Structure 1
Amino acid sequence: MRRYERMDFEEASAALAQKARIERGRAIIQQKKGLQSVRPYRTDGYINVLNKYGTARDNSEAYEFVAEPIVPDTKLTVQYEDNGLFAKIIDTPAEEAVKHGIDLGLKDDALNDFVEKALDALEWEEKAATAIKWARLYGGSIIVMLIDDGRGLEEPLDWNNIRSIDELRVFERAVVQPDYASIYSSDPMRAVRNQASKFAMPEYYYVQSLYGSFTVHESRCLVFRNGILPERVTNPVYRFWGPPEFVRIKRAMKDAMVAHGNGPKLLDRSVQPIYKMKNLASLLAAEGGDEIVMKRLEIIDLARGILNSIAIDSDGEDWDFKSIPFSGVKDVIDTTCNMLSAVTNIPQTILFGRSPAGENSTGDSDFENYYNYIERIQKLMLKKNVRTLLDILFKAGRANGEIQEKPDYKLTFNPLWSLSDTEQANVDKVRADIELVKAQTAQAYVQMQAMDPSEVRAALARSEEFMVEDILDDQDEDWGLSDIGPDLSGVSGNLPPTLSEPSDTVTGLSTAQQPMSQDTPNQDGAGQPTSAATLVVKDGKILVGARLNGEGICGPGGHIEDGETPEQAARREALEEFGIQLGPVYCLGQLDGLPEEYGLPVIFLCTDFAGEPVCDGSEMQVPDFLSFETLHDVEEISEGTLFPPFRQSLQLLADVLCGGDAS
């Protein structure tokens, strides 16, 4: 064997030497021709002849991905019937996708009741969940709608003659065969079939159920496909429908189940007894010695099992136990669980009923990824089918006189994340407080005879949520904020005249205003700013939200982190608390006279931002735009509603706009 290895080494060395000579000769010729920069010869060590790394004898070079064999439908059915873990992987996302319901955005309660009763009568939630389950199990499924339109199942649906929809029947891919001879295509001789939205889709489906076989037209079907595969797919059965989930997860699922199954078996081997006998080898070599040894072992083991004691000869016999360590077994099991969770997109908290391991592991990111996966299922499998079903229901409702006309609706799925009772109570309390302030503001306007009670009543009749400003007949003043940028050059105070003017990196104020006099009311020369806030203005209204700690209403703002300028802190706080990107900002100045707990805040003004204000619920909630008058009235009606620094910043803004010194 060594001779052959030496011959291989010598042959390889000779081949490398020959190749080196050829390359050196080529380099000499290129040098004479002035082509040194063209394909220079390098030896970068891609192979190692000594340890065979990178050569044909390298074991790692033999790895090759091989396609999985086709899984019969009977095997998929048996796995779903008998394998609890696999059934949970199939069922959980399907049930999660439909259990929270849908929202059509309809203002009419009668229409909402009609849709809800119709879907309940058709058992839509159960049927849709079953269709998604079969799509995940077999790769696809269909729901056949039994519609009363005067035609048979094999005929196209007559949309102008729909009278009712009687039932929904679910069939899995295993009993459904698409008619590939009736594929929709762009045939100029058959213009009726030139439907771009249904291109490459079959017009008919053959259903071969145990309860009867029939042909159904595609317009009477809701099709559920478990993903999309390329045209050159290895299994033509999956080309139209999509692959079953089992094909992609079976190895990870096998490893997880084997790891969990072999774990308890290790307990049988956790303690290994060892018996020592004098002259054991000689005894076994003698005739009948093995029987003597086995009989002795059986007697010792029998006594240990019955009497829980062992009797051995003091001379020449010994009995001992060795414990087998299980270190690393838990890590192996956890690794298999992580892999299965990764390929199924289901968190371990749901799949195995346990929280993720590791420090500071809350599982929130896992649930966020899981809910994103459920939303993909809703968009790819449910959304189009729900729209088709709703259109048919509205047609049938008009025909039966249950509704007057088809409403304009916007289909959305209800949020997957449900608030706890405490969180929901806090949100409801904040909303109730805001509505109370609105009602008190409206009452104050009525008492001042600025509006009539009938106007308030009419506004409440139009919508449950109303703004006092929308009730007023006269157009509100915009306080000069809608076009504040170009008009600020002549405003006195601490507002920088232009954005290009350099600013101090500590305070964020214009260097043209430095140094400031000691009697300037909004600048404390004895200390540097410790916080920053922004008054975000849109259409003459100021962005506000309710603080979760109950300290009142305010805009974006917070403490200045180490290494930040006030402007950087203001932009960061606006993004974290309201999810908006601030555009150009104008420094109004620095507040003083506040209690020590509020620090020394620098106030900025912004009239241009990107994004829609949305609070994440960790610091702020219930974002809204309120006018200067409303905020003023809110503070008068209920003193302390406004956050103190925010209340003083409003006064600073009013003073700056009036052309006086900020106070």
Structure 2
Amino acid sequence: MGLVTFVSDSLRNLASGLGYERDKAAQAEFHFTAMGEAQLEAMYRGDWTAGKAVDIPAFDSVRNWRNWQAKNDQIERIEAEEKRLNLRSKLLEAMVLGRLYGGGALVMGIGTDDPMKPVNLDAIKQGGLRYVHVMSRYDIVSGEIRLDPEDEWFGEPEYYQLNTEKGAIYHIHPSRVVIFTGSRRVSRTREVEPWGDSILEKIRDAVANAARANHAIAQLLEEAKLDVIKVPNLMSTHLASNEATARLTERFRTAMSIKSSTNALVLDDEESYEQKQVSFTNMPEVLQQYMLVVSGAADIPATRFLGQSPAGMNATGESDLKNYYDRVSSEQELTLTPALSRLDEVLIRSAEGARDKAIHYVWAPLFQKDGKELSEIEKNRSETFNKWSASGLVSDQVLGKV
């Protein structure tokens, strides 16, 4: 992925060459180079910022889970089924694989069905969902994409292929696979395969620059204080032979040992000694800016990504977190809910033995109010009810049901 420093517009200047062939920046172009499985895994495992960029949004999407809306006994059976299948943890793993590799999947095993046939929801009995397995795009291979607009499975592969360690080949119908794609691709690339791109491919430059800045500062620490000793005739006398060099090396090793124990450096009367120190005045701010770029590229606020205290007067970071959690909630509704609907229809039938149309769920809120906010809400609620009661416009019986 190339780094472009200029994006041209309609502004041109013939005298300066701005916007014409003589303009160096006008020749810049974007280039995209896909990263392989080994590179992505090395980046994820070897750099903590890359790992957090992959893990945090996936973790936040499932950490408060979802609240089923149904009768109490129905909720108990559905939640027991989720627990039996370890669904919450497996969803998190599949989402991490999707964000890391551009493709993660949950594969369902249903009863004794032929895995190459579409799921028959009406035939699913209680306990019919035998397993849910987590796989990456490198574990299962997608077949040819269906491009017939009249096809019920338009945009889906003809099948997913799984190769076992024993050499067996399984073909799985797409109705039994729930995929997570990481960073979305344009439609033309999805005509070839159903997967997306790794989110690390978009933030690769930001992560690499931050890592280089961190490493450069760490190297400077080794030379934060440097001793400089000037020796007369150094090249002509003391470095003229291996024997002379060895004597010089041993001499200063002994001198530094004496300095360490007595806090005094012993030198010849013609030699001089000084210390040079590296200034770190602006380096923390420089490194912080690199880290903030990574945080912005990953679309995670610094208060969440870096555990950093908010900057600015009266800043609490609450608005940043609310905006971030709002985005995660939108992703839950726009991406997770449609993807999981295929699995949930099977899950409910496996828990109940039938499908009650009234059963549904809502995602649990991510941003939790503290005790002070809750008490203020309750106070305002009580004052409002008292005003309604005193006005006589609303009866106490109605207020008691609110």
SS in 1 for 2:107: strand
Q: 1:114 aligns with which of 77, 80, 94?
A: 77
1:379 and 1:47, CA in 2 relative to 1: closer, same or farther beyond 3 A? farther
1:554 and 1:162, CA in 2 relative to 1: closer, same or farther beyond 3 A? closer
Q: Is the 8 A contact 1:225 1:241 kept in 2?
A: yes
- Bigger relative contact order, structure 1 or 2 (CA pairs below 8 A, ≥6 apart): 2
- Flag the structure with larger Rg: 1
Q: Are 1:105 and 2:105 matched, yes or no?
A: no
Q: How does 1:453-468 map to 2 (within 5 A)?
A: none
Residue equivalent to 2:257:
305
The Cα shift of 1:289 comes to 4.4
1:46 and 1:249, CA in 2 relative to 1: closer, same or farther beyond 3 A? same
Opposite residue 173 of structure 1, the aligned amino acid is R
The Cα shift of 1:627 comes to 8.9
1:144 and 1:44, CA in 2 relative to 1: closer, same or farther beyond 3 A? closer
The Cα shift of 1:74 comes to 2.3
Q: 1:368 aligns with which of 315, 318, 322?
A: 322
Q: 1:168 aligns with which of 132, 139, 155?
A: 132
Residue equivalent to 1:355:
309
Q: Deviations over 1:435-475 (max 9, x none)?
A: xxxxxxxxxxxxxxxxxxxxxxxxxxxxxxxxxxxxxxxxx
Residue equivalent to 2:6:
none
Q: Are 1:154 and 2:121 matched, yes or no?
A: no
Opposite residue 348 of structure 1, the aligned amino acid is A
**Alignment TM-score, normalising by the size of structure 1:** 0.51
Q: Deviations over 1:329-378 (max 9, x none)?
A: 11210111011001111223333332244444322232123213322432
The Cα shift of 1:135 comes to 0.5
SS in 2 for 1:171: strand
Q: Is the 8 A contact 2:155 2:191 kept in 1?
A: no
Q: Deviations over 1:480-539 (max 9, x none)?
A: xxxxxxxxxxxxxxxxxxxxxxxxxxxxxxxxxxxxxxxxxxxxxxxxxxxxxxxxxxxx
Q: Return the alpha-carbon distance in structure 2 between the equivalents of residues 157 and 255 of structure 1.
A: 48
Q: Return the alpha-carbon distance in structure 2 between the equivalents of residues 185 and 627 of structure 1.
A: 66
Q: 1:387 aligns with which of 333, 337, 341?
A: 341
Q: Deviations over 1:551-600 (max 9, x none)?
A: x4499xxxxxxxxxxxxxxxxxxxxxxxxxxxxxxxxxxxxxxxxxxxxx
Q: 1:322 aligns with which of 267, 276, 286?
A: 276
Q: Deviations over 1:405-461 (max 9, x none)?
A: 61424432110012335544665x54xxxxxxxxxxxxxxxxxxxxxxxxxxxxxxx
1:103 and 1:320, CA in 2 relative to 1: closer, same or farther beyond 3 A? same
Q: Are 1:65 and 2:17 matched, yes or no?
A: no
Q: Are 1:255 and 2:179 matched, yes or no?
A: no
SS in 2 for 1:133: helix
Q: Is the 8 A contact 2:115 2:171 kept in 1?
A: yes
Q: Are 1:133 and 2:87 matched, yes or no?
A: no
Q: Return the alpha-carbon distance in structure 2 between the equivalents of residues 301 and 286 of structure 1.
A: 18
Residue equivalent to 1:180:
144
Q: Return the alpha-carbon distance in structure 1 between the equivalents of residues 276 and 238 of structure 2.
A: 31
The Cα shift of 1:264 comes to 2.7
Q: How does 1:359-438 map to 2 (within 5 A)?
A: 359-399=313-353, 406-421=356-371, 423-424=373-374, 430=379
Opposite residue 337 of structure 2, the aligned amino acid is K
Q: Return the alpha-carbon distance in structure 2 between the equivalents of residues 184 and 159 of structure 1.
A: 25
Residue equivalent to 1:446:
none
Residue equivalent to 1:226:
182
Q: 1:628 aligns with which of 382, 391, 398?
A: 391
Residue equivalent to 1:336:
290
Residue equivalent to 2:235:
284
Q: Is the 8 A contact 2:69 2:75 kept in 1?
A: no
Q: Return the alpha-carbon distance in structure 2 between the equivalents of residues 132 and 226 of structure 1.
A: 8
> Which runs of 5 or more structure 1 residues have no equivalent in the other structure?
1-42, 188-193, 431-544, 556-623, 635-663
1:323 and 1:396, CA in 2 relative to 1: closer, same or farther beyond 3 A? closer
1:273 and 1:58, CA in 2 relative to 1: closer, same or farther beyond 3 A? farther
Opposite residue 109 of structure 2, the aligned amino acid is L
Q: Deviations over 1:171-205 (max 9, x none)?
A: 11112222116x15235xxxxxx32xx42222311
The Cα shift of 1:218 comes to 1.2
> Which runs of 5 or more structure 2 residues have no equivalent in the other structure?
1-10, 398-402
Residue equivalent to 1:199:
154
1:294 and 1:396, CA in 2 relative to 1: closer, same or farther beyond 3 A? closer
Q: Return the alpha-carbon distance in structure 1 between the equivalents of residues 349 and 147 of structure 2.
A: 26
Q: Return the alpha-carbon distance in structure 1 between the equivalents of residues 51 and 325 of structure 2.
A: 19
SS in 1 for 2:132: strand
Q: Return the alpha-carbon distance in structure 2 between the equivalents of residues 625 and 185 of structure 1.
A: 61
Q: Is the 8 A contact 1:227 1:241 kept in 2?
A: no
Q: 2:198 aligns with which of 244, 261, 270?
A: 244
Q: Return the alpha-carbon distance in structure 1 between the equivalents of residues 238 and 93 of structure 2.
A: 70
The Cα shift of 1:293 comes to 7.3
Q: Deviations over 1:72-121 (max 9, x none)?
A: 11222333344443333222221211121212433x21122122111111
The Cα shift of 1:388 comes to 2.6
The Cα shift of 1:248 comes to 1.0
The Cα shift of 1:243 comes to 0.5
Q: Return the alpha-carbon distance in structure 2 between the equivalents of residues 398 and 70 of structure 1.
A: 45
Opposite residue 362 of structure 2, the aligned amino acid is T
Q: Deviations over 1:38-71 (max 9, x none)?
A: xxxxx984443xxx7767565545543322x221
Q: Return the alpha-carbon distance in structure 1 between the equivalents of residues 220 and 322 of structure 2.
A: 36
Opposite residue 413 of structure 1, the aligned amino acid is W
1:322 and 1:97, CA in 2 relative to 1: closer, same or farther beyond 3 A? same
SS in 1 for 2:275: strand
1:356 and 1:236, CA in 2 relative to 1: closer, same or farther beyond 3 A? farther
Opposite residue 216 of structure 1, the aligned amino acid is I
CA RMSD in angstroms, aligned pairs only: 3.4
SS in 1 for 2:69: coil
Residue equivalent to 2:56:
92
Residue equivalent to 2:43:
79
The Cα shift of 1:225 comes to 2.1
Q: Return the alpha-carbon distance in structure 2 between the equivalents of residues 155 and 76 of structure 1.
A: 34
Q: Return the alpha-carbon distance in structure 2 between the equivalents of residues 120 and 217 of structure 1.
A: 25
Q: What is the percentage of aligned positions where both structures have the same residue?
A: 22
Q: Return the alpha-carbon distance in structure 1 between the equivalents of residues 338 and 211 of structure 2.
A: 37
Q: Return the alpha-carbon distance in structure 1 between the equivalents of residues 254 and 310 of structure 2.
A: 45
Q: 1:144 aligns with which of 83, 86, 107?
A: 107
Q: Return the alpha-carbon distance in structure 2 between the equivalents of residues 54 and 388 of structure 1.
A: 52
